[in-house]
Amino acid sequence: MRLRVTTQKNTHYHLSTFPHFLTHITYYDLRTSTNAALSHDHHTTWLRNSYLEGTILAGNKHVRTIFSTMLSDCPIFITLNKSKTITMTNQLSEQFGPRDVMEYDVVIVGGGPAGLSAAIKIKQLAASTKQEISVCVLEKGGETGAHILSGAVLDPIAINELFPDWKELGAPLLTPVTEDRFLVLSEKKSYKTPEWLLPSCFQNHGNYIVSLANVVRWLSQQAENAGVEVFPGFAAAEILTNPDGSVKGVATGNMGINHDGTPGPSFQQGMELHAKYTLFAEGARGHLGKQLIATFALDAGRDPQTYGIGIKELWEIDPKKHQPGLVIHTAGWPLASDTYGGSFLYHLENNQVAVGFVLGLGYANPYLSPYEEFQRYKTHPAIRDFFEGAKRISYGARAIAAGGLQSLPKLTFPGGALIGCEAGFLNMSRIKGSHTAMKSGMLAAESIVTALSAGRSHDELTSYGEAVTGSWIHTELHKARNVKPWLAKGLYLGAAMVGIDQIVFKGKAPWTLHHTHADHECLRPAAEYQAIVYPKPDGKLTFDRLSSVFISNTNHAENQPIHLTLKNTSTPVSINLAIYAGPEARYCPAGVYEFIKTDDGADKLQINSQNCVHCKTCDIKDPTQNIVWVTPEGGGGPNYPNM
Ligand SMILES: Cc1cc2nc3c(=O)[nH]c(=O)nc-3n(C[C@H](O)[C@H](O)[C@H](O)COP(=O)(O)OP(=O)(O)OC[C@H]3O[C@@H](n4cnc5c(N)ncnc54)[C@H](O)[C@@H]3O)c2cc1C
Ligand code: SF4
């Protein structure tokens, strides 16, 4: 019997803590691709992003107890006779017997633009080559579209390729862009940038203002019409691997588990979905994608991924003030010039306006609250007038992967690939990622159909990576590669250099700037700043977090284990509160994290996990990376109508 421990990237394990019944240990370092024999004398050996294999002399039960205590944040697999994999951390498996297994040719995790476009393209190619290819899509939202939050101005380039007849098919692209305004705001004034000075990335003629959630609902319908099995309400919670390390599918999470991890009266065991190829399309900072990137060292030699948090509201405004097709972007106030961010305001159909704020998560001041900055922005004289007498309909937030080409990981690993914002295909200079997400899914689909036609399975889809490099995704991201790094250097220098980079050099400058730090490394101690006093909400134009979360229709099954897990329960107080004044209480747009006093006067972090809108900001920005977002029960989370 062999035992495999997949260690997490950047987490160190001391070999002396490994039990002595584990003998003949070897470790395989995924970064250097080397095997080495280890002994228990290796007390100073640190293992990083590697896996261990050894011979177990004790029984299953003993191993599980010891290992799950020792490496509680680390998935542990035991390979029995090289054929059956058991997740040791999932103690319920033994009690309730093996999980049901469903076999597909292709399993896709995530029913967003990327996942659904991949599924549709596979079915289109299968039909044209007369092949039977079974495809299923897992979506953690209660319905497809329920967890989709975007701007959104959609560049139709990908949907034109996927469905040249999308108009006849009734795709909800109803409002063509009619006017672009780019404003630089000071506290009281606004300055419109002349059109000739606007780089092409800020020009939107030919694009459509959409509800991306509705576009996704439409894509889901097209996928089902093509024979794809779409399973909303099912979160993929675990990656399954073959004995050779290739990905063989995913398992959905158990349902009906009590707060303490024991099975409740409505307990239902998760299901295994096995596939010849598995595509991961969870969007920015995917829970499983993060594990794959670490396990297969997909980010080796790449810049760290950087993110933004996007916070959005949907309003119904006075028809007299509504101008369908109007697109407004702003930079400047209320942010300090060294903080990267800006707003969007899009006039859709039906007197609706989507208004939102995107703030780079590489900010340094721990007192900054992205939510409060957004509320403040709406009070600007150039903006507030749109909302006089208007009604707020919905609210939500979601992280954006903003690193672009420099941060793009290797896309493939044996048995699968990353697509869409899971990989990080968003073009931050345009705040657009749905078209690249769709196209990446379509390119992965082509690679899969070629592989399946050749009778292949569980190997690496190298032609997908090559196809991306040869596609317009690469051309577009290459042109945009310096925009975010320049703007991260401050608004004024950044704007000047973006002008030179985009207007003079047209994105072909002979330099490439790099992202040097992950966002969580950028936070500075609170002692270096003064607390920011934000204005109180008026309940008409500006709102508190809880009334905002209320209209996101967020809900999680009660009594389930908290899905915002802490690697170390004392860190929030001993480090986050002590050094950074508890930033999670401010960067979380849903008020999930609260520092409270216990009866004996001690500080304590309270996690109101039922409010979580799945934006992933805490997983990204927590300064010590102590917070790990894991999938809650399928169907939980926001229920966005048309965001
Ligand atoms: C505020 C904001 C404004 C934006 N504006 C624009 C814009 O104007 N134009 C534009 O083109 N793009 C815009 N974007 C970006 C755009 O929304 C994304 O690029 C696009 O949604 C990426 O598609 P995706 O399919 O890769 O991921 P997503 O759209 O994030 O979809 C991922 C799906 O996977 C599901 N999922 C995740 N994990 C699991 C799991 N483990 N199991 C099952 N299901 C799972 C999620 O619930 C979700 O439905 C904006 C984004 C934000 C946040
Ligand atoms: S808990 Fe984390 S993922 Fe959930 S809303 Fe808050 S910051 Fe976002």
Band of residue 258 on the pLDDT scale cut at 50, 70, 90: confident
Ligand 1 atom nearest 312 alpha carbon: 1
23-32, 151-160, 164-173: range with lowest mean pLDDT: 23-32
- Ligand 1 atom nearest the C-alpha of 425 is 19
pLDDT higher than 50, residue 270: yes
CB 564 less than 6 A from any atom of ligand 2? yes
Does the pLDDT at position 273 exceed 80? yes
CA distances from 209 to 333, 385, 583, 603, 643 (A): 25, 21, 34, 46, 12
Q: What is the pLDDT of residue 40?
A: 41
Span from the CA of 582 to the centroid of ligand 2 (angstroms): 14
pLDDT of res. 81: 27
Q: What is the mean pLDDT of the chain?
A: 87
Compute the distance between CA of residue 607 and CA of residue 259 in angstroms, rounded to an integer. 13
Torsion of CA 43, 44, 46, 50, to 10 degrees: -50
Which of 121, 136, 282, 620 is the best mutation target for the ligand 1 pocket, counting ligand atoms within 8 Å of the beta carbon and taking the most?
A: 282
Q: Ligand 1 centroid vs 219 CA: distance in angstroms? A: 14
Contacts of 348 (CB under 8 A, 6+ apart): 174, 175, 209, 210, 211, 324, 354
Q: Which atom of ligand 1 is nearest to the CA of 356?
A: 1
Q: Whose C-alpha lies nearest to ligand 2, atom 2?
A: 618
Find the mean pLDDT for residues 280-307: 96
Report strand pairing: 2-6 vs 50-56. antiparallel
Give residue 43's pLDDT. 33
Whole-angstrom distance, CA of residue 319 vs CA of residue 304 = 45
Report the share of the chain in percent with pLDDT over 90.
74
Q: Is any atom of ligand 1 closer than 6 Å to the C-beta of 235?
A: yes
In the predicted model, is pLDDT for residue 282 greater than 90? Answer: yes
Token code pair at residue 450: 């070629």
pLDDT of 159 strictly over 80: yes
Q: Is 285 in the pocket of ligand 2 (CB under 6 A)?
A: no
Is the pLDDT at 491 greater than 90? The verdict is no
Lowest mean pLDDT among 11-25, 278-292, 544-558: 11-25
Which 8-state DSSP code applies to residue 404?
G
Neighbour-count burial of 11, counting CB atoms closer than 10 A to its CB (0-12 exposed, 13-18 middle, 19+ buried) = middle
6-31 average pLDDT score: 44
Residue 19 binned pLDDT confidence (cut-offs 50, 70, 90): very low
Q: Rounded to an integer, what distance in angstroms lies between the CA atom of residue 275 and that of residue 277?
A: 5
DSSP state of 614: -
The percentage of the chain sitting over the pLDDT mark of 70, rounded to a whole number, equals 85
What's the confidence (pLDDT) of residue 451? 98
Point out the least confidently predicted range of 25-39, 111-125, 547-561: 25-39
Cα dist from 334 to 190, 223, 346, 374, 538, whole Å: 12, 43, 19, 8, 18
pLDDT of res. 361: 97
The atom of ligand 2 lying closest to the CA of 614 is: 3
**pLDDT one-digit tens code per residue, 514-571:** 999 999 999 999 999 999 999 999 999 999 999 999 999 998 988 898 999 998 999 9
Task: For a ligand 2 pocket test, name from 140, 371, 615 the mutation site with the most ligand atoms within 8 angstroms of its C-beta.
Answer: 615
Residue 79: what pLDDT?
30
For residue 629, the CA-to-ligand 2 centroid distance in Å is: 8
* 272 burial level (CB within 10 Å; 0-12, 13-18, 19+): buried
Pick the atom of ligand 2 nearest to 590's CA: 5
Residues making up the chain, counted from first to last: 643
Nearest ligand, measured from the Cα of 118: 1
Contact 310, 428 (CB under 8 A): no
Q: What residue has token string 């608004």?
A: 491
Average pLDDT on 239-264 reads: 89
As a whole number of angstroms, the distance between CA 301 and CA 205 comes to 37
Name the closest-CA residue to atom 8, ligand 2: 615
pLDDT at 44: 30
Asked whether residue 30 carries a pLDDT value surpassing 80, the answer given is no
Tens-digit pLDDT profile for residues 393-439 = 999 999 999 999 999 999 999 999 999 999 999 999 999 999 999 99
Nearest ligand, measured from the Cα of 605: 2
Task: Identify which ligand lies nearest to the alpha carbon of 398.
Answer: 1
pLDDT grade for 497, boundaries at 50, 70 and 90: confident
Is residue 282 exposed (0-12), middle (13-18) or buried (19+ Cβ within 10 Å)? buried
- Residue 37 token pair: 């024999």
Q: Which atom belonging to ligand 2 lies closest to the Cα atom of 564? A: 1
CA of 394 to the centre of ligand 2 (A): 17
pLDDT average, residue stretch 499-513: 88
Cα gap 141→311, rounded to integer Å = 19
Which ligand gives the minimal distance to the CA of 590? 2
Q: Is the CB of 309 under 6 A from ligand 2?
A: no
**Ligand 1 atom 41, closest CA:** 236
Q: Which ligand is nearest to the CA of 311?
A: 1
Q: What residue's CA is closest to ligand 2, atom 4?
A: 612
Q: How far apart are the first and last CA of the chain?
A: 50
Query: Side chain identity at 341, as an amino acid letter?
Result: G
Residue whose Cα lies nearest atom 38 of ligand 1: it is 282
Q: For 177-211, what is each residue's pLDDT tens digit?
A: 999 999 999 999 999 998 888 888 889 999 999 99
The residue whose CB lies within 8 Å of the most ligand 2 atoms, and thus the one to mutate among 617, 625, 631, is 617
Whole-angstrom distance, CA of residue 435 vs CA of residue 427: 10
pLDDT (mean) for 113-122? 98
Across 258-272, 350-364, 618-632, least confident range: 258-272
Host H or E run for residue 497 = helix 491-499
> Averaged over 223-252, what is the pLDDT?
95
Amino acid 349: pLDDT? 95
Q: Give the residue, by CA position, lying nearest to ligand 2 atom 3.
A: 616
Mean pLDDT over residues 39-65, rounded?
Answer: 38
Residue 305's nearest CA partner among 319, 289, 328, 320 is: 289
Could you tell me which residue, 282 or 96, shows the higher pLDDT?
Answer: 282
Residue 261: pLDDT band (50, 70, 90) is confident
Report angle CA 141, 144, 145 to the nearest 5 degrees. Answer: 90
User: What is the H or E stretch that residue 571 is in?
Assistant: helix 571-571
Tell me what pLDDT residue 605 has. Answer: 96
Q: What is the DSSP letter of 368?
A: -
Rounded to the nearest angstrom, the distance between the alpha carbon of 400 and the centre of ligand 1 is 8
Query: For ligand 2, is residue 371 a contact (CB within 6 Å)?
Result: no
Task: Give pLDDT, residue 576.
Answer: 97
Structural tokens at position 408: 């793009």
How many A from CA of 220 to the centre of ligand 1? 14
Residue nearest ligand 1's atom 7 by CA: 152
Burial of 509 (0-12, 13-18, 19+ CB in 10 A): middle
H helices present in 40-151, as ranges: 60-70, 92-96, 113-128
58-62, 97-101, 157-161, 634-638: which is most confident = 157-161
Q: Which ligand is the nearest neighbour of the Cα of 159? A: 1
Distance 36 CA to ligand 2 centre (A): 40
Q: Is the CB of 590 under 6 A from ligand 2?
A: yes
575-622: pLDDT as tens digits: 999 999 999 999 999 999 999 999 999 999 999 999 999 999 999 999
615 lines ligand 2 (CB under 6 A): yes
| CA nearest ligand 2 atom 1, residue | 612
Q: Is residue 126 predicted with pLDDT exceeding 80? A: yes
Contact 406, 514 (CB under 8 A): yes
Ligand nearest to the CA of 356: 1
- pLDDT one-digit tens code per residue, 42-51: 333 334 334 4
